[in-house]
Chain A
Amino acid sequence: GQNIDQPTEMTATEGAIVQINCTYQTSGFNGLFWYQQHAGEAPTFLSYNVLDGLEEKGRFSSFLSRSKGYSYLLLKELQMKDSASYLCAVLDSNYQLIWGAGTKLIIKP
Chain B
Amino acid sequence: GAVVSQHPSWVICKSGTSVKIECRSLDFQATTMFWYRQFPKQSLMLMATSNEGSKATYEQGVEKDKFLINHASLTLSTLTVTSAHPEDSSFYICSAPTLGTSGGIPGGEQFFGPGTRLTVL
Binding site for B on A (CB under 8 A): 30-31, 40-45, 48, 50, 87, 91, 95-97, 99-102, 104
Instruction: Mark interface residues in B9-46 (1 if CB within 8 Å of A CB, else 0).
Output: 00000000000000000000000001000000111111
Closest chain-B Cβ to A53's Cβ sits at a distance in Å of: 14
Q: Which of A48, A50, A102 contacts B43 (CB 8 A)?
A: A102
> Does residue B104 face the partner (Cβ distance < 8 Å to A)?
yes
> Does residue B100 face the partner (Cβ distance < 8 Å to A)?
no
A-B contact count (CB 8 A): 46
Contact: A100 with B106, CB < 8 Å? no
**Size of B's binding interface in residues, CB under 8 A:** 24
Binding site for A on B (CB under 8 A): 1, 34, 41-46, 91, 93, 95, 103-107, 109-115, 117
Contact: A48 with B109, CB < 8 Å? yes
**Nearest-CB residue, chain B, relative to A51:** B104
Closest chain-A Cβ to B21's Cβ sits at a distance in Å of: 13
User: Which residues on B sit within 8 Å (CB–CB) of A96?
Assistant: 46
The contact sample of 24 A-B pairs, CB cut-off 8 A, is A30-B106, A31-B105, A40-B91, A41-B114, A41-B115, A42-B93, A42-B95, A43-B44, A43-B112, A45-B111, A48-B104, A87-B43, A87-B44, A91-B106, A95-B106, A95-B107, A97-B34, A97-B46, A97-B110, A99-B44, A99-B46, A101-B42, A101-B43, A104-B41
Say whether, besides A41-B115, A42-B114, A44-B112, A100 and B107 are in contact (CB < 8 Å): no
Instruction: Identify which of A41, A42, A50, A104 gathers the most chain B CB atoms within 10 Å of its CB.
Output: A42
